[in-house]
């Protein structure tokens, strides 16, 4: 199975949270609290601190994000090229799922 077929492969537990974090960082560097606020705003999902920092550590260890030098107590993170590739592959796969789902709903359920 290629990464395009399973773009969440390698993201580990909380893959959904990982995609939310990658999506947030695609908009620019952010520290933990800014990530939580941004994800809440665009996805309506609250990331608890334990989940956030566990996922950040996993993404960093897999080369998808980079932890930058701390500014006082806040450590910003940046999306890497590898992380951008994983996010783009995920988005492409999800667009396909959406198109198929919409087509099947229209055909079988007369849903617009």
CATH number at residue 92: 1.10.10.10
d(CA 79, CA 109): 40
The count of structural domains within the chain is 1
Can you give the residue range of the structural domain that contains 62?
15-109
| Residue 85 covered by a domain | yes
| Residue 70 covered by a domain | yes
| Residue 9 covered by a domain | no
- Which residue in 86, 55, 15 sits closest to 67, CA to CA? 55
pLDDT of 1 reads: 43
pLDDT digits (tens, 9 = 90+) for 75-106: 999 999 999 999 999 999 999 999 999 999 98
| Residue 87 covered by a domain | yes
Residue with tokens 């260890």: 61
* Helix, strand, coil % in the chain, rounded to nearest 5: 60, 10, 35
pLDDT of 8 reads: 67
Lowest mean pLDDT among 2-6, 39-43, 54-58, 65-69: 2-6
3-state secondary structure of 71: strand
pLDDT at 3 over 60: no
């Amino acid at each position: 199975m290629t990464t395009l077929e399973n773009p969440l492969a390698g993201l580990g537990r909380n893959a959904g949270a990982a995609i939310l974090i990658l999506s947030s960082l695609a908009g620019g560097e952010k520290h933990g609290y800014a990530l939580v606020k941004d994800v809440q705003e665009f996805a309506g999902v609250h990331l608890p601190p334990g989940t956030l920092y566990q996922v950040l550590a996993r993404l960093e260890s897999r080369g998808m994000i980079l932890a930058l030098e701390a500014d006082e107590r806040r450590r910003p993170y940046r999306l890497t090229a590898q992380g951008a590739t994983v996010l783009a592959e995920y988005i492409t796969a999800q667009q396909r799922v959406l198109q198929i789902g919409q087509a099947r709903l229209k055909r079988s359920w007369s849903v617009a």
